[in-house]
Amino acid sequence: MNTPDKIRQLTPAPLWGNFADLNAVPRASKKEERVIEFMRRFGEGLGLDTFVDAIGNVVIKKPASPGMENRRTVVLQSHLDMVHQKNADTKFDFDTEGIRMYIDGEWVTAEGTTLGADNGIGVSAIMTLLQSKEIPHPPLEALFTIDEETGMTGAKNLDETVLSGKILLNLDSEEDDELTIGCAGGIDTNTRFIYSEDPVAPGSAAYQIRIRGLKGGHSGLDIHLGRGNANKLMTRLLYQTTQSLGLRIASMDGGSLRNAIPRESVAVVVVPAAHQPAFEQEFNQRKAAILREFHTVEPDLSIDLESTALPARVMNPGDQDKVLNALYAAPNGVFRMSPDIPGLVETSSSLARVIVQDGLFVTQSLQRSSIESGKADVAATMRAAFESIGAEVENAGSYPGWAPNAESPILKVMVDLYEGLFGAKPSVAACHAGLECGIISEHYPGMDMISFGPTIKHPHSPDEKVHIASVEKFWNYLVKILKETPAK
């Protein structure tokens, strides 16, 4: 296994060194205290004007290099937090351990966990620019936001007095040949339902059902790929079996993070002992059908059934029907494609989290759309599925999309520079992920914004990896952009 020292030797070495230092700091969303302090000390250690606003965003300002004082100030922006996900069989404590990175051929990845390249490579690139004494650059304002992954509260609560730049480069895109000029907005839908429980009937048998091995991934960028959602697959396995064989649910636990496609789910169920052979036969038939359907896109999917100890209580049959009906009806996946931008998902929904335990049924889901009316529509569809069973439904964490501006002045500069450097036109597109640009533009109207970055695959999953050569390409491009920024 490669060590972090090998990663520090990659090109550009200062950037990779900063990434290794950053990845040694635990930085889960809403637990950013250590990384905020890390970044504050970094800025102050360079003797630069460093400011932490009331919500925890860090701003570091660097004067222009000699001869560049008449150029427009550029805001460089990335988020400090990262998605913390790991495989079920990986022993790792995100609260105390640094990410265990290694080189795998052309990629850098991590041992059974998310890597943090989203958005750690962007953060590390900005750190490298702040450190450099050789790279020509205009006045720089480095903006490191917090909590991007679980609500964008850093961007939402950004101090509106600390930035003066009129150009913002967001370093949070994940294809090195793409310039992003727009993104989707999002809203969380959280539900809560109290159900009745019954004692387990005598003469019953219990089973644990476990779904795992799904690819998961980013519930915006990857939603169109047809990957399995562990919560929906578990619902499908249980839905009809309850009617025919008297299956009763004791517990369910599926998914983890609101913005990740759920990869795993586990349920404990009870059936009358007399129905065990029929249940096992029907389960295996349903399992085989699902594996056939998903064998191309989910080759590592496994669905396992094993006997387990009897629980004390199970869900009341009437409430169980309500729960499964709501889960089956809950929208998941692509809701609508954009009629204006070919290939762009306009509206989607992801059923991210399902818990059934001790009389309480809760879900978390995230709806996204490029248009506000579409976001409201799909959120209302999710709301209707759960309100129909009497569940409490709360919408939270709403954030706006970022409307594309094809006439952006900095866009023209960046397209021309890309062609000159790489001999090809970049792809100029909007994305179905949530970026902070739309929120920041509400605080700073008129700011000209572009998002770009290196190639990162499978963000928000333990398969996350960043392409080594694309990091160098991204870095060289960024340096060139700063050299060619327009005059005031």
- Angstrom distance (rounded) from CA 408 to CA 395: 33
Q: Which candidate, 384, 406, 405, 403, places its Cα nearest to that of 395?
A: 384
Task: Tabulate helix, strand, coil % of the chain (nearest 5).
Answer: 30, 30, 40
Buried b (16+ CB within 10 A) or exposed e, 89-105: eeebebeeebbbbbbee
Catalytic residue (choose from 32, 53, 81, 174)? 81
- How far does the chain reach from its first CA to its final CA, in angstroms? 50
Which tokens belong to 138? 């205009």
Which tokens belong to 64? 């222009």
Residue 199 and residue 311 in contact, taking contact as beta carbons nearer than 8 Å: no
Cis-peptide into 119, omega within 30 deg? yes
Beta-strand ranges (E) seen in 80-203 are 101-104, 107-110, 140-145, 167-170, 178-183, 185-194, 197-199
Residue 142 and residue 128 in contact, taking contact as beta carbons nearer than 8 Å: no
Half-sphere exposure of 275 (CA within 13 A, CB side): 19
Which tokens belong to 28? 């889960």
Catalytic residue (choose from 32, 118, 147, 148)? 148
- Cβ neighbourhood burial of 244 (10 Å; 0-12, 13-18, 19+): exposed
The H or E element spanning position 308 is strand 302-308
Half-sphere exposure of 186 (CA within 13 A, CB side): 28
Residues 6 or more apart from 372 whose CB is under 8 A from it?
Answer: 185, 400, 401
Annotated catalytic residue 81: yes
Catalytic residues: 81, 148
